[in-house]
Structure 1
Amino acid sequence: GVLYYKDLQDLLLNSSDDDFGDNESISTSDTCCTGRVCMTETAAELEAVFIPVLYSLALIVGLLGNGLVLAVLCQLRRSWSITDTFILHLLVADTLLLFTLPFWAAEIAQGWSFGTPLCKLMGAIFKVNFYCGIFLLTCISLDRYLSIVHAVQMYSRGKSWKVHASCLGVWLICLLLSIPDWIFLQQLEDERSKTVKCTYNYLAYKTSVKDWQEASRWLYHIVGFIIPSIIMVFCYSSILLRLFRGSQGFKKQRAIRVILVLVLAFFICWTPYNITLIVDTLHANRTLNETCESTIILELLLSATAALGYIHCCLNPILYAFVGGRFRHHLLKCVCVCVFAITSARAKILLP
């Protein structure tokens, strides 16, 4: 998918703009070319089997888990907290990403066959989901920081519409940040691996191929990961220091435990991919030395870390169940109601 293949500009990095579309005139280094052939013959075959199975399991577990979270939130709708509202929007973002998994699994197994419009849509959904996830967690961090450290209520409990308005603002910003995906993503054939991919075509804008790629990548790195990460680390470091100094530290720590676990899970799942992508960006613009081995290793790491990132969208419901006491109580209640309903329906069918 968008995550698993280096940009088309990387494949033709040393070619001139006039050479695009003329495979015989593409000039690339032998080591780079050899590395990509090696990648096609080894890791691609493993991905075609392993990744679709993994994504199928993630889709099933994610839809089931997010459905249960939604059911619990519906039960709690009269006593929603500010955090619950943010969790609802995180749930929507994760669910949207889950629906893209069959497309990425199909691409890995047999190439992209859904056309350019769906390529742009699926790529944009991924980017919006990632931005939404980290921006919403940043909003929660700022809210908790102001409330606990400075005793300032960012949102009043009686005006939940303000929280929803903030979340809608986050969605709008994320949509704007996905504009490069709407512009550059296309269905294209990779002449080397003889496969059709959903990938970035920076060569469509011949005057500044490298500038377009680097600007898009660094926008993703800085705005979508580095700045929010710094904000969250600062907020939670300040919160923990304040809690340990206070007389009700343990009680308050339990109150933010779910949020801390969600943030840690996000970083555990997405940090490896983002670090690998930053290295890949430096590798592509020749800041780092490019060799056959480094190219193969980077593509393997991008594939593996991207899969870890996708798994995050089905992980949050599990975390709620194990960490959040209130959520666990209502979850068990929902499960009992569902089991009772299914049992009653079967009994009615079996009875004459």
Structure 2
Amino acid sequence: MDVVLDGIFHQNGTYDYDETYEYKDDPVPEHSSGVWILVLYSAVLLVGLLGNGLLLAVLALKRRSWTISDTFVLYLSVADVPLLVMLPFRAAQATQNCEWCFKEVLCKISGAVFNISFYFGIFLLVCITLDRYLSIIRATQFYSLRKPWLAHICCLLLWLSSLILAIPDWIFMVAWKDPAREKTLCVHKYSQSTTDWLLVSRLLHHILGFLLPAASLIFCCSSIMLQLQCIKSIRVILSLVVLFFLCWLPYNITLVVDTVGRSRSKELNDGLSGNPEGSLKTALMVSSTLGCIHACLRPLLYLGLCANFRKRAVAMLRCATVESESSLWEFGMGEEAPTDPSQELEQMTSVNHQMQSTQW
């Protein structure tokens, strides 16, 4: 039997595989990640709007017995609502394979709202913990029911400071057409003459927006716990601080890594900044998403820890009335300390009964 090998070895020339086979990246992972981000943002938006709406409704019904704590909780909730409203635009960009399909003004608003919400949230937490520190350690209260306007002025100043720190977002965030990807991206765009603005804005963010406020929060909370030897009296405030750090610390750490890398390389991608590549880009996206999740977790924390708020919320949903006029949030801000020891003991006993009932 003859074996014919001519069909195999007859053509011995070179063959260019590039002309017939084109390698393409698998689009499934990118599409899959976009779907998961869309689902996550939708859940955060729904839970956040419902939770903050319930909180604002309870505060509206309690307007006749307004306290300093109510004022600060109101402003914290107001700071979360714009961030929640901007989530659909972020989700749309994720589902469009990281392409911005809206107007440039929405790009600027989205970036500015993200940072304003972060700045105002951490600044207001500093004010709350600092007031408790002065009240417990120094026996001095800056905010009182006799001067409720001080709380509003303080919050307005914090809003103004947050807006000033977000000025780079208003100026340098643009809807930029990437010639390599042929897609429009919502990024910070710096020219060769304004590259120093990147490092300046990052330093302001790291120092004024995170390091100093974080040090103040840690110092105040540690001093209060060492003085009281317990956390029951500040458990709500401490929980708010811990929640804020858990949600925003990864983003700030990732941003520090990106800032250090850019300052060392001294090359800002031909004027384009805020658009890192590779794993750092993924880390920034994931950590910023975690920061957005914080906007929906705060009302859930109130429902879990504040028995009076939970009681009022349930009564409002059942269209019932609650006669209790005690604090909803257990911040202790602007509340006068009882001078009668029996009254103090009675208050401590009632608090213990409430905690035991919630546990059961």
Q: Is the 8 A contact 1:116 1:187 kept in 2?
A: yes
Tell which deviates more after alignment, 113-122 or 142-151. 113-122
Q: Which residue of 2 aligns with 1:324?
A: 306
Please give the per-residue CA displacement for 1:18-65, whole angstroms capped at 9, x wherever unaligned: xxxxxxxxxxxxxxxxxxx98x96764343211111111111110000
RMSD, aligned α-carbons: 2.1
Distance 1:212 1:304 in 2: 25
Distance 1:176 1:304 in 2: 26
Q: What 5-or-longer segments of structure 2 have no aligned partner?
A: 1-23, 267-275, 321-360
One-letter amino acid of the structure 2 residue matched with residue 273 of structure 1: Y
Q: Which residue of 2 aligns with 1:156?
A: 144
Aligned pair in 2 of structure 1 residues 254, 79: CA closer, same or farther (>3 Å)?
A: farther
Shift of 1:82: 2.0
- 1:137 is paired with a residue whose SS is helix
2:184 is the counterpart of 1:196: yes
Aligned pair in 2 of structure 1 residues 43, 275: CA closer, same or farther (>3 Å)?
A: farther
TM (norm. structure 1) is 0.77
Q: What 5-or-longer segments of structure 1 have no aligned partner?
A: 1-36, 289-293, 339-352
1:290-305 correspondence to structure 2 within 5 Å: 295-305=277-287
One-letter amino acid of the structure 2 residue matched with residue 297 of structure 1: S
Q: Looking at CA atoms only, which structure, 1 or 2, has the larger radius of gyration?
A: 2
Q: Which residue of 2 aligns with 1:75?
A: 61
Distance 1:333 1:62 in 2: 20
Q: Which residue of 1 aligns with 2:260?
A: 282
2:201 is the counterpart of 1:216: yes
Shift of 1:107: 1.4
2:234 is the counterpart of 1:256: yes
TM (norm. structure 2) is 0.75
One-letter amino acid of the structure 2 residue matched with residue 50 of structure 1: W
Tell which deviates more after alignment, 161-170 or 105-114. 105-114
One-letter amino acid of the structure 2 residue matched with residue 307 of structure 1: T
Please give the per-residue CA displacement for 1:219-259, whole angstroms capped at 9, x wherever unaligned: 11111111100000001111111111xxxx5xxx4332111
- 2:177 is paired with a residue whose SS is strand
1:99-110 correspondence to structure 2 within 5 Å: 99-110=85-96
Q: Is the 8 A contact 1:184 1:200 kept in 2?
A: yes
Distance 2:214 2:138 in 1: 21
Distance 2:112 2:194 in 1: 22
Q: Is the 8 A contact 1:190 1:196 kept in 2?
A: yes
Q: Which residue of 2 aligns with 1:65?
A: 51
Q: Which residue of 2 aligns with 1:231?
A: 216
2:315 is the counterpart of 1:333: yes
> Of residues 146, 171, 184 in structure 2, which corresponds to 1:183?
171
2:71 is the counterpart of 1:90: no
Tell which deviates more after alignment, 121-130 or 229-238. 121-130
2:157 is the counterpart of 1:169: yes
Q: Which residue of 2 aligns with 1:17?
A: none
One-letter amino acid of the structure 1 residue matched with residue 162 of structure 2: C
Q: Which residue of 1 aligns with 2:358?
A: none
Would you say how many aligned residue pairs link Structure 1 and Structure 2? Answer: 286
Shift of 1:156: 1.6
2:122 is the counterpart of 1:134: yes
Distance 2:32 2:68 in 1: 44
Sequence identity percentage = 48
Distance 1:169 1:141 in 2: 17
Distance 1:254 1:287 in 2: 49
One-letter amino acid of the structure 2 residue matched with residue 62 of structure 1: G
| Between structures 1 and 2, the one with greater helix share | 1
- 2:318 is paired with a residue whose SS is helix
Shift of 1:336: 1.7
